[in-house]
Amino acid sequence: MNKKSINNKYQTLTTFVTEFSFKKSIIRALSTLAILFLITACSDEKSDTNPPVIIINGGCRITVDYITVDYITVEYNTKNYTLPKAGAVDLEDDLLTVVVEGSVDTLTLGTYIITYTTTDYSGNSTVVECPIMVVDTTAPKITLIGNDTIDLLPNNSYTDLGATAYDKYDGDVIVTQTNDIDTSVIGSYTVTYKAIDSSGNERLATRNVNVLVPTPFVTTWTTTSPNEEITIPTGSYNYKFSIDWGDGSEVDENKTDSVTHIYDEAGTYTVSIIGIFPHMNNLNNDDIDKLTSVEQWGNIQWRSMAYMFKSAINLVINATDIPVLIYVEDMSHMFEGAVAFDHPLNGWDVSTVTDMSSMFSGATTFNQPLNDWDLSTVTDMSSMFSGASAFNQPIHDWDVSRVTDMSSMFSGASAFNEWLNNWDVSNVTDMSSMFAGATIFSQELNRWDVSNVMDMSSMFSGATAFGSSLGDWDVSNVKDMGNMFSNSELSTYYYDALLNAWSAQILQTKVEFGADGIYYSSASEAARQSIIDTYNWEINDGGLQP
């Protein structure tokens, strides 16, 4: 043990000491005994000259003797990006502070230098410049125009529908495509699309094109007397088809227009059509009542279904396959007047159709589910179920957001009473006669946005069960309301609410409003008169409630 005697008030120690003793005179001379040790480095010891080490999360690790720079990469348009955190390590000191300078703009590609600085308690400093690169490593997104699988018949022309590509940095990107399609040879082909952005990121997409073995469109026709003829009508498209009349006669080949055939004997005949036959237009076909069934749709590529079975009063569909509809836009009047027709259609792809006006008009037997139809492109539903007196299927999930014309849509649909209050009808301009004569329809429609409707004439005329509140409707653009509620079941209570609410709107002038047989009460008398005086409306109703 190393002892040292303290004899003076101030004494310098030059050796390592573990025990002290004090002279009595020193203790008596001091009223307070305080021992202060000032320790200094010995002259032969080295001072702290080692700089601290900065360690950055994710890369850019810097050491005392060398610098290893690992680029930190950040994806373009990264939201709420924060700079990498850093810590400092020192041989002598703890809890050093690291100062960070610089910023990164993730909306601009490039390299950004972030500076990290720290200083230890001996004054040794370290500065690290960390490169952070904003990069685009995401390839463009390719979207095919049309279906990803196309079926063709032999020798049909193939016109590629193309594709678009969008990149989050470059925006629209050019798409190139390659294919080896030979429509004269049955088989499967691949169309390949490529898009490359300015950063070199590449994306591929493919479309399958199948050249199929032709299968015919098969129907049956019935004649009732010898030498009776039937006509297979065409439309305005290009045709090249062969037809087997089913009576043993010679096959008519490579036909390009309507064809008429005479049957020697009365009977039911199976007619098969193969080739390019895009539309059977029966608008003015006097023989349509002889069409008795569809036995097979085949792989005919239809371009239109308009008037296809109009007035086919004996038609039934026995086919178990479904038609190819990917090019069809028009289904107007397709089953109009087909009074025997009641075939399931729920598996049909109608996603390209824009016109369904009068499609089931007068199809008095039809009552099949249609809830899985994609109607997002349809714009015209006028008279779609007009006179379809058996139809009552749930169709509330339909996307009708592009429809502009719903006039007479359920007119005379005497069995229809399904919920429609969630429909987006904001683009509809014509609702005239929409529920006219729909005698059991009684659903609420108060959620409808009818702000673009201009014609509501006869909308609920003869809808003898309808009596819901429509006071929430914005009718500011309606110009015709003639017979709108005539002979409906609208109660005085709801009629009062309607008049009071509508009187607060800015309305069209000189509108004819019909509510024959509907009474108002004193609760809405002032509002009714205000509409007449302010906007010069002609209101025809049942008058003041007795």
pLDDT band at 324 (very low <50, low <70, confident <90, very high): very high
| For residues 74-103, average pLDDT | 85
Helices (H), 455-521: 492-502
Residue-wise pLDDT tens digits, 138-152 = 999 999 998 899 988
Spatial distance between the Cα atoms of 284 and 389, rounded to a whole number of angstroms: 25
Could you give phi then psi for residue 402, rounded to 5 degrees? Answer: -100, -5
Spatial distance between the Cα atoms of 271 and 216, rounded to a whole number of angstroms: 9
Say if residues 351 and 378 touch (Cβ distance below 8 Å).
Answer: no
Question: What is the pTM assigned to this prediction?
Answer: 0.73
| For residues 417-438, average pLDDT | 98
Which of 74-78, 294-298, 334-338, 491-495 has the weakest average pLDDT?
Answer: 74-78
Which of the four CATH numbers 2.70.98.10, 3.30.43.10, 3.50.50.60, 2.60.40.10 does domain 51-135 have? Answer: 2.60.40.10
Spatial distance between the Cα atoms of 472 and 175, rounded to a whole number of angstroms: 49
Residue 31: the pLDDT is: 46
pLDDT band at 4 (very low <50, low <70, confident <90, very high): low
- Residue 156 token pair: 């049909």
| For residues 522-536, average pLDDT | 98
pLDDT above 70 for 281 = yes
Q: Among 103, 311, 299, which Cα is nearest to 211's? A: 299
Distance of CA 284 to the CA centre of its chain: 39
Mean pLDDT of the chain: 90
pLDDT above 50 for 63 = no
Residue 83: the pLDDT is: 87
Could you give phi then psi for residue 206, rounded to 5 degrees? Answer: -130, 155
Spatial distance between the Cα atoms of 344 and 269, rounded to a whole number of angstroms: 24
Helix then strand count (H, E) for the chain reads 3, 25
pLDDT above 50 for 417 = yes
Residue 70: the pLDDT is: 58
| For residues 155-179, average pLDDT | 92
Residue 545 per-residue DSSP state: -
Query: Residue type for 116, please?
Result: Y
Q: Hey, where are the domains in the chain?
A: 51-135, 141-211, 216-300+309-324, 329-337+345-365+375-545
Which residues neighbour 45 within 8 Å (Cβ) at sequence distance 6 or greater?
none
- Residue 209 token pair: 């094109």
Query: Residue type for 323, please?
Result: P
pLDDT band at 123 (very low <50, low <70, confident <90, very high): confident
Q: Do domains 51-135 and 141-211 have the same CATH topology?
A: yes
Which residues neighbour 159 within 8 Å (Cβ) at sequence distance 6 or greater?
none
pLDDT above 50 for 175 = yes
Which residues neighbour 384 within 8 Å (Cβ) at sequence distance 6 or greater?
356, 357, 358, 359, 360, 361, 409
Fold for the domain defined by 141-211: Immunoglobulin-like (2.60.40)
Helix (H), strand (E) at residue 274: strand 267-276
DSSP assignment of 72-137 equals: EEEETT-TT--PPPEEEE-SS--S---EEE----TTS-EEEEEEEEEE-TTS-EEEEEEEEEEE--
Which residues neighbour 122 within 8 Å (Cβ) at sequence distance 6 or greater?
47, 48, 49, 92, 93
Q: How many CB atoms lie within 10 A of CB 190?
A: 12
Which residues neighbour 63 within 8 Å (Cβ) at sequence distance 6 or greater?
53
